[in-house]
């Protein structure tokens, strides 16, 4: 089992959710985050004063998948989150030791 954590642009969240739903993924967590990568922030003007925004607003999504579903989930996220512009985001993949569904006590892939 794997945990996919993807940091994407806000306006792509619905596209990613829809793409994952279309391939049968049943759950996803979305968290509003701030950060920076190669783009290093940008300049903005507020009430006539220019200032540097060092941390850009993004959305981090987390999806637990079986090993068999990993490639399809990665393709769905990559294709639906991509704009071709700088700051599209990153995808991180972690190994999951176990998953437990609290309500039923199911463990492993059946709990995903």
- Tell me the per-residue pLDDT of 31-69, one tens digit each, with 9 for 90 and over: 999 887 776 666 667 677 776 777 788 999 999 999 999
Q: Which of 32, 20, 28, 39 is nearest to 88 (CA)?
A: 39
pLDDT at 51: 67
Least confident of 9-13, 46-50, 83-87, 90-94: 46-50
In the three-class reduction of DSSP (H, G, I as helix; E, B as strand; rest coil), residue 103 is classed as coil
Is 3's pLDDT higher than 70?
Answer: yes
Q: How far apart are CA 87 and CA 72, in angstroms?
A: 23
Q: Does domain 2-111 correspond to CATH entry 3.30.70.120?
A: yes
Q: Which residue has the tokens 């700088």?
A: 86
Cβ-contact 20, 73 below 8 angstroms: yes
pLDDT at 86: 85
pTM for the model: 0.85
For residue 57, how many other CB atoms are within 10 A of its CB?
A: 11
In the three-class reduction of DSSP (H, G, I as helix; E, B as strand; rest coil), residue 57 is classed as strand
> Region 91-104: what's the mean pLDDT?
96
> Region 85-91: what's the mean pLDDT?
91
Q: How far apart are CA 42 and CA 56, in angstroms?
A: 8
Cα torsion angle, 14, 20, 23, 25, sign: negative
Cβ-contact 85, 108 below 8 angstroms: no
% of the chain beyond a pLDDT of 90: 74
């Amino acid at each position: 089992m794997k945990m996919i954590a993807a940091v994407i642009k806000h306006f792509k969240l619905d596209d990613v959710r829809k793409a994952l739903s279309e391939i049968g993924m049943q759950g996803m967590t979305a968290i509003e985050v701030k950060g920076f990568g190669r783009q290093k922030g940008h300049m903005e003007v507020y009430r006539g004063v220019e200032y540097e925004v060092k941390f850009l607003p993004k959305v981090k999504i987390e999806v637990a998948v079986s090993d068999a579903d990993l490639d399809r989930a990665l393709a769905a996220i990559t294709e639906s989150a991509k704009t071709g512009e700088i700051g599209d985001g990153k995808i991180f993949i972690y190994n999951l030791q176990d998953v437990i569904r609290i309500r039923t006590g199911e463990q492993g892939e059946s709990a995903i």
